[in-house]
Structure 1
Amino acid sequence: MRRVAAVLVRQSTAGAVPEGVDPREFLEAVAEDAYEVVAGLDLVTPVLVTSVPGLDELVWPGTEVIEVGEDEPLAGIAARLDGDQAVVMAADAPDLPPLLIGKLFRELGRAQVSVCPAEGGGAVAMAFGLPMPAWAASGLDEPDPVTALRAQAPGRRMVATVPGWHRLRAAGDLARLDPGLEGWDNTRALLSEAGLTAR
């Protein structure tokens, strides 16, 4: 069983950049932290999927980097992943507990798609078998993907959820970062240097 965890980086990943911080530095810090979430998982192959050029240095040697268009739908991204099961995680969740990625994979034992919903709509991460079920393709990018996917699924138990999490989509979302939570070291250091949060 080959499990792949892909971190998806788009230009919008820097949406929460606070005033006085370089947007590129912020994007790189957040993306590297998100990559570290999946790279540290056992029995999972990390992949970086990005529409932002020049991020190869953020990942471990040998990590596959897949370049996509800024508006590439998730179904198209899924089609480019190689394995038996995959998680696609938004890079603007640098403090996502790795346990939630594990839960997404575990739910695939009984469902065809599993979702970690995002506060404020959308998803933080989704998991599915590869190739991805055709019925799921158009529901992945919906504002409420759980409802959309369940409406399209051929059976009631085809779509599972795990506890939700937050994404950094606007500067106000930075307040959701918990200094007591392990991880997100690069984002933490960058914000600390800007005088925006304690280490």
Structure 2
Amino acid sequence: MSDRRVVVLVVPAVGSWAPPGREPDAWRLALAEDTYEVLAALDLVEVAIAVVGGNDEAVAELAALTWPGTPVYAVDADRPVLDAVDKSGPAAAVVAVSHDVPDLPGLLIGKLFRALGSADLAVTPAEDGSLAAIGVRLPAAPWVVDAGPTFDTPLSTLDELKPRRHAVALGPGWHRLRSNADLARLDPGLEGWDATRAVLRGK
């Protein structure tokens, strides 16, 4: 058993953004598959997928994209990150990752785990003001449980709630794919994000 776990949180297709002319569910699944593949390649880390507010059908849909043995489960839409952390199993730390970072460097996740040696939370900020990843040291500190952070929680809110200066560690920033402008950040020469690339090409 690894003492480090990573969970990819996948949102429902309803209401989610997709590039013009692309089917939202196909886009969402492509992003999730590529994000999962990045994390599954990490050493000494166990990876799972959490479907936010999902039913059995949604869970099965995501499970079909994973390697055999990968846990896939539904989580509460009101507290998705902490529910995903709770359901991930025994660990010293868990990092929850938004599904829309298909080109995320795995190195950034390693930085969050290192920071969780002393911090209660470690986050990867996204360029749009949201969070791309949230790491939680376990057992979760009471203030973290009360805060119930999500990927839309502003850093300023976490700074206001933290009980001590170094309770929240800030990792290097990255970008999420949430608008047409974000597509320009994808590097065509970078290996990986194959499923996302295929959907953008209309395949």
TM-score, normalised via structure 2 length: 0.87
- Between the aligned partners of 1:12 and 1:124, the Cα distance in structure 2 is 18
The 5 A counterparts of 1:37-52 are 37-51=38-52, 52=54
**Residue number in structure 1 paired with 2:86:** 79
**Residue number in structure 1 paired with 2:101:** 93
Q: Structure 1 pair 152/70, CA: closer, same or farther in 2 (3 Å)?
A: closer
Contact 2:98 2:151 in 1 (8 A): no
Counterpart residue identity of residue 169, structure 1: R
The 5 A counterparts of 1:1-199 are 2-11=3-12, 15-51=16-52, 52=54, 53=58, 54-82=61-89, 83-137=91-145, 138=147, 140-141=149-150, 143-193=152-202
- Between the aligned partners of 1:33 and 1:45, the Cα distance in structure 2 is 16
Q: Render the CA deviation track for 1:88-128: whole Å, top value 9, x for unaligned.
A: 00001111111101111111123121110011122000111
- Post-superposition shift, 1:131? 2.4
- Post-superposition shift, 1:161? 0.6
- Between the aligned partners of 1:8 and 1:73, the Cα distance in structure 2 is 8
- What do you get for the CA RMSD once the two structures are aligned? 2.0
- Between the aligned partners of 2:70 and 2:197, the Cα distance in structure 1 is 24
Flag structure 1 segments of 5+ consecutive residues without an equivalent. Answer: 195-199
Contact 2:134 2:151 in 1 (8 A): no
Q: Render the CA deviation track for 1:37-92: whole Å, top value 9, x for unaligned.
A: 11000000000001340211011100011112444442233222212210000001
Give the stretch that moved more between structures: 48-57 or 144-153: 144-153
- Between the aligned partners of 1:21 and 1:66, the Cα distance in structure 2 is 26
Flag structure 2 segments of 5+ consecutive residues without an equivalent. Answer: none
- Between the aligned partners of 2:76 and 2:152, the Cα distance in structure 1 is 20
- Between the aligned partners of 1:108 and 1:34, the Cα distance in structure 2 is 21
Q: Matched residue of 1:190: which SS?
A: helix
Q: Render the CA deviation track for 1:132-191: whole Å, top value 9, x for unaligned.
A: 212023151374543222222221111111111111112332122111222211101221
Give % identity: 44
Aligned length: 194
- Between the aligned partners of 1:63 and 1:55, the Cα distance in structure 2 is 10
Give the stretch that moved more between structures: 71-80 or 17-26: 71-80
Q: Matched residue of 1:66: which SS?
A: strand
